[in-house]
Amino acid sequence: MNRILSVFLSHLFKTGNLTITDASGGVTQWGDGTGEKLHIRFNTKAAERAVALHPSLKFGEAYMDGGLDVVSGSIYDVLALIFANADRGDAAREPWMRAIARMRLLYRRYIQNNTPRRARANVQHHYDLSGALYDLFLDADRQYSCAYFERTGASLEEAQLAKKRHIAAKLNFDRPGLRALDIGCGWGGMGLYLAGQLQAEVTGITLSDEQLAVARKRAEDAGLADRAKFRIEDYRDVKGQFDRIVSVGMFEHVGVDFYEAYFSRCAELLEADGVMLLHTIGRFEEPTNTNSFIAKYIFPGGYIPSLSQMTTAIERAGLIVTDVEVLRLHYAETLRHWRERFAARRDEAKALYDERFCRMWEFYLAASEGSFRWQDLVVFQVQLTKSRDALPLTRDYMFEAEARLRQSDDANAAAASREGAWPERCAAE
């Protein structure tokens, strides 16, 4: 086995039961022999050398390109073992690992230079993939962000509906007809919920052609096109004033150098007594690089902020942080559902793309789930206002609104069940 790789693995694996067959046919055991027996095989010396020098990028590439195979267990099982051991941090302190991290920091700002043109290209890279792909693993409402699991055993559909309800309650729609801006509206699910359940006048913006077409059709089919309007637009170009602003799963694409511009623009767009709710992936440790594989293949230009990076920009924009909730393992559970659904329909994904794509997507979902289970990733829901008296004095209004919406959602679900369809499916079709 490559000497550098052997040293790295000796620092990494203290627990577990992993067998590695190297490209020369040599077999080594790693860990303390406990747990499920896992086995990976390197098929080429080039893959072995690459993983030794840059594991955070090249391990995923080797799996994606067939440079290594998982012989026993799954790629998720292997990554789970890696994450569980890496949590101790010994391997990351290797000199070459620190050198790679420093080099990536030097050009991080170039990678995240998300000008309007580059931001649109980055979004199209991921979100303009075939809609049939997303139908394989998302819920029927195509909620492609962290769900909210109100109870153990909730289905993905239930948890995604609960997420929309949870966010809507925090926005305090205390009267009908409020003007709401949805920044990064996706396929329209959040905006349609606000327009349908709370009679809001919604403007949804996206940079994805695929998402725009679906969102507009859904609004037409639901009879909400007069209250839910969607368009291609960058947040920097939006005009007008809004009573409510919501952004779910978009802030990760803004880029560090644009945080102040983002929050300043939101402050300009928000009415004096308005309320904003930002839902974003974040990290609870100090700022660091985005995972190399995810940045290169999945979300180019993406970056996961720490709360300190966000609050500095928020304060400079003149906005007030009125509430912060940290969702810890909700995204891990969301990703588990996605990973299992994708695995169950893998043959369909392969028919849409190819084996390499399937391996890339498997690695992405598995690595992302592991990051929320064993590393420092969480989801922040940050409520913002421009005025200290824009909201009621206590948080009771959130719980009361959520209870009312839950009652309404349950009634809709019961009615749809009598008609033979779930409400989320009706809304999506």
* Residue 399 confidence (pLDDT) above 90: yes
Q: Kindly calculate the radius of gyration of the chain based on its CA atoms and give it in whole angstroms.
A: 23
**419: pLDDT confidence band, cut at 50, 70 and 90?**
confident
| pLDDT band of 130, cuts 50, 70, 90 | confident
Average pLDDT over residues 194-214: 96
- pTM metric for this prediction: 0.90
Q: Residue 70 forms beta bridges with which residues? A: 40
Given this model, what pLDDT does residue 96 score?
42
Write 292-296 long-range contacts (CB < 8 A, 24+).
292/54, 292/56, 292/57, 292/104, 293/56, 293/57, 293/59, 293/60, 293/61, 293/363, 293/364, 293/367, 294/364, 294/367, 294/368, 295/111, 296/57
| 25 CB-near residues (< 8 Å, 6+ apart) | none
What confidence category does residue 367 fall into, taking pLDDT thresholds of 50, 70 and 90? very high
pLDDT at residue 98 above 70?
Answer: no
Residues 147 and 351: their CA atoms lie apart, in Å, by 28
Q: Which residues have C-beta within 8 Å of that of residue 193, sequence separation ≥ 6?
A: 164, 165, 168
Instruction: Using the predicted structure, report yes or no on whether residue 133 has a pLDDT greater than 50.
Output: yes
pLDDT for 424 equals 44
Q: What is the pLDDT of residue 427?
A: 40
Instruction: Report whether pLDDT(94) > 60.
Output: no
What's the pLDDT tens digit per position in 298-312? Answer: 888 889 999 999 999
Cα gap 311→254, rounded to integer Å: 15
Residue 429 confidence (pLDDT) = 32
Q: What is the pLDDT of residue 129?
A: 81
pLDDT score for 232:
97
Instruction: Say which residue, 296 or 198, is predicted with more confidence.
Output: 198
Q: Nearest-CA neighbor of 335 among 294, 374, 301, 370? A: 370
